[in-house]
Chain A
Amino acid sequence: AQSVSQHNHHVILSEAASLELGCNYSYGGTVNLFWYVQYPGQHLQLLLKYFSGDPLVKGIKGFEAEFIKSKFSFNLRKPSVQWSDTAEYFCAVKSGGSQGNLIFGKGTKLSVKP
């Protein structure tokens, strides 16, 4: 069965610090990769996704992620975080084509100190 691993359970940064959240997945075939963000008390919102093509994908709010196939990784980055980025971030993988469901990682809670 596929699985998604997020390396950090809780990350604490000061504003303007750079962010990198790790994500590895286990599935060896073709996958679609996603990062979702969940602000406190809110629903999941898509940050960015990778299907094919350029392995460096850019999302909303200045986030980007790089797909490295050889490492089965899809790490999320942001050069300079803001207090408003405080949220939980979930990496997810979707296999099985268009009808496959999303498998989520355990999530990484990001706390940004003003």
Chain B
Amino acid sequence: AAGVIQSPRHLIKEKRETATLKCYPIPRHDTVYWYQQGPGQDPQFLISFYEKMQSDKGSIPDRFSAQQFSDYHSELNMSSLELGDSALYFCASSSLSGYTGELFFGEGSRLTVL
């Protein structure tokens, strides 16, 4: 079965650079969530989108922005990267129309900021 696809899987950037992470939800899923998991930490909710509109916002820094496109894929843009941004970024998707309550997670994008 198709799963949530994230790219790139690994990314290394310097401080003050920018990075873009991509997320392709499970087909027919209309909601995308972004989570940040620092080393040894629990996943922290950043932001979510439903039908291309932002539906909820968590602890996303102002340096970060995200959007969901017409094909339902989402991109997380991170600018002025800081060392503390090094983390595993998970994307998850769900379907409101076929709602089961479950979020399906991708394998994550590991960002390392040097």
Contacts and interface: CB of A to CB of B under 8 A. Distances in A.
Interface of A: 32, 34, 36, 42-46, 49, 51, 90, 94, 96, 98-107
Contacts of B92: 44, 102
Interface string B81-114: 0000000001010001001011111111000000
A107 B105 contact: no
10 contacts: A32-B101, A44-B43, A44-B105, A46-B104, A90-B42, A102-B33, A102-B43, A102-B45, A104-B44, A106-B42
Contacts of B58: 101
B74 interface: no
A45 B90 CA distance: 12
Contact of A99 (B31, B43, B108): B31
B42 A42 contact: no
Contacts of B42: 90, 104-107
B90 A44 contact: yes
Residue in A45, A99, A100 with the greatest tally of chain B CB atoms within 10 Å: A99
Nearest to A99: B55
Contacts of B71: none
A89 to B, nearest CB: 11
Contacts of B33: 101-102
Contacts, number: 53
Contacts of A103: 45
A55 B24 CA distance: 34
B68 interface: no
B59 to A, nearest CB: 11
Contacts of B48: 99, 101
B64 interface: no
A94 B45 CA distance: 12
Given A42-B107, A44-B105, A45-B105, A98 B99 contact: yes
Contact of A94 (B44, B101, B104, B107): B101
